[in-house]
Structure 1
Amino acid sequence: MSKEINNTILYNPDEQLSMLYNRKVTCPVCEAVFNAKSIKKNSYRILKKDSDFFIRYSRISPYFYDVWVCNECGYASIKTDFENLSDYAADKIREKITPKWHKKNYPEVYDINIAIQRYKLSLLNYYTIGARESKKAMNYLKLAWMYRLKEDDKNELQFLNQALENLSTAYYNEPSPIYGMNKFTTMYLIGELKRRLDKSEDSLIWFSQIITSTMSPQKIKDLARTQKDLIKSEPSEKEPELENKSNKKDGGFFSKFH
């Protein structure tokens, strides 16, 4: 799908405005109440699912609205983490972020460039508060996906590499589930990121461990086997993505990633 087609499908402000509603959110840092943009049910359609769990949408993308930002104090994070903030972390935001914060004038409808800005702001907050590597890994991964939509290979690979480094650290140091993923799903994602970064030999080791384990779920085994076979048959080519022909809203395995 070309960049022009992507932009047409995923940024049509007049159409998308009717798909959004405001959700009242109270900032855990400064207690300001603000409107967080949310997408109405059944507004988006799934086009395809990539092999690293990225979901491609038509009409409107939930990823563009995945970061909440308090415009009063500058606190930002992926929305699933937003309200889960310790007193220590809130103090760090007030000390390090708020004094340098300048309010942003965000439009009613977000495009991919705004989404990237907000993911980077979230990442800055994660580093400021010393968030777990798993949170930083997911933030980096979603940034990589945004650059994939822009067909910016250089930045995509850069952020995939950062996602891999943080996810690998999380795998060895954090208890499962890691950001909603069980042990074998995390192993698969590490293997797949390695494959995308041309670390095929390492990738094969991770996939083989999943395939040979008696504890790994069959769905993850099948994914690992597909990617392992791909490496062996087409070592120098990018794979076709794992397609999803259904237009129904995803509510299962991939739902944790948007």
Structure 2
Amino acid sequence: MEPLYETNQNCLCCSRAYTTSKVRPSFKKPKRVDADFCGHYKPEVNPDYYVVKVCPYCGFASTENGMAAISEQQKQAYMARIGSRWTAGREYGGERSLEQALECYKLALLTAQAIGEKERIIAGILHHLGWLYRYDENGQQEARFLQYAMESYIEVFENEADSLNDAKLMFLIGELNRRLDKPNEAVRWFSRVVNDKRITDAGMIRASREQWTVIREEQEAKAAAELAALTALAGEAGGAPKQGRNWLSSRNG
């Protein structure tokens, strides 16, 4: 059985029919999952590559969690900003490489911004872009998009009515802070999940405690490494004056 199968789609913008590929559920088995829910799969069957569907006729790109329909005003806004510059014939309906997946997510991001998609959807796209750069081992770009995702998640938390009880959202903000080397901010968010009595999500409470422990261990390891480095420098500095005195002594002699 092939890992990919085709599905029929109707473009929300131009209404034309096209096909896109998805990974069969039986192949969606990650080798491991990072704390921020990034799954690691075999490259040839990575379901994250196929989350975004792209219309080959106008370039409109979206995810299943996005809007189910858009208004004429949104269509016009998309066409003015992106669709009018789309090159017909660009095709993402078959098997995708990592580079093609990145292109699809960036198209989805531009589309979401053009039509005024919900911030939660935009945050998810940004987070997925960070994951794709993680697969590519591009730490600089990963950190860039994780920072954008974190800022977007915070906006969701601050502006959506149910955010105060969204334990997963709070956990994600904490975890992205941890990954961006902001331990104090990370602990602040993890502690909110653990200590807020309104939160009953046992899984997220446990995960927050675990990552809080990871931060403590990371900070202890960092402090030990810094102490070792200072000790080594002190040892080198202790030997340097002796060499200087010998040089001066021989010079004077």
Q: TM-score, normalised by structure 1?
A: 0.79
1:114 aligns with 2:100: yes
Evaluate the alpha carbon distance shift between residue 123 and residue 92 of structure 1 in structure 2; reply closer, same or farther with a 3 A threshold.
same
1:91 paired to 2:76 = yes
RMSD of equivalent CA atoms:
2.1
- The within-5 A match list for 1:137-152 is 137-152=123-138
Secondary structure in structure 1 of the residue aligned to 2:87 = coil
> Which residue is 2:157 aligned to?
171
C-alpha offsets along residues 63-106 of structure 1, whole Å, 9 cap, x if unaligned?
00000011111111123216343443223113322211112144
Q: Equivalent residue for 1:202? A: 185
Q: 2:29 aligns with which of 31, 40, 45?
A: 45
Higher relative contact order (CA closer than 8 Å, sequence separation 6+): 1
State the AA in 2 paired with 1:74: G
Quick one: structure 1 residues 218 and 198, their matched pair in 2 at CA, closer, same or farther if it must change by over 3 Å? same
* Pairwise CA distance, 1:202: 1.1
Check 1:112–1:190 CA distance in 2 against 1; reply closer, same or farther (3 A cut). Answer: same
1:1-12 matches, within 5 Å, as none
CA contact (8 A) 1:37 1:65 kept: yes
- SS of aligned partner of 1:51: coil
Which 4+ stretches in 1 moved above 6 angstroms? none
**Farther off after superposition, 156-165 or 76-85:** 76-85
How far 1:215 moved relative to its partner?
Answer: 2.3
Q: Measure, in 1, the Cα distance between the counterparts of 2:11 and 2:107.
A: 15
Give a deviation string over 1:167-195, Cα, whole Å, max 9, x none: 101110123369xxx61111100011111
Contact kept? 2:120, 2:156, Cα under 8 Å: yes
Instruction: Please identify the structure whose Cα radius of gyration is greater.
Output: 2
Among 3, 21, 38, the alignment partner of 2:5 is 21
Determine which structure has the larger helix proportion and give its number: 2
| 151, 165, 169: which one aligns with 1:186 | 169
Aligned to 2:20: 36
Q: Equivalent residue of 1:223, what SS?
A: helix
Unaligned stretches of 5+ residues in structure 1: 1-14, 239-258
* Count of residue pairs brought into register by the alignment: 219
Kept in 1: contact 2:54–2:93 (CA 8 A): no
Q: For residues 118 and 131 of structure 1, do their structure 2 counterparts lie closer, same or farther at Cα, with a shift above 3 Å needed?
A: same
Q: State which drifts further: 101-110 or 223-232.
A: 101-110
**SS at structure 1 position matched to 2:209:** helix
In the other structure, the counterpart of 2:50 is 65
Question: Which residue of structure 1 aligns with residue 210 of structure 2?
Answer: 226
Q: Which residue is 2:232 aligned to?
A: none
1:44 Cα deviation (Å)?
Answer: 3.3
TM-score where L is the length of structure 2: 0.80
Cα distance, 1:201 vs structure 2: 0.6
Contact 1:140 1:159 (C-alpha < 8 Å) held by counterparts: yes
Q: Distance between the aligned counterparts of 2:79 and 2:217, measured in 1?
A: 53
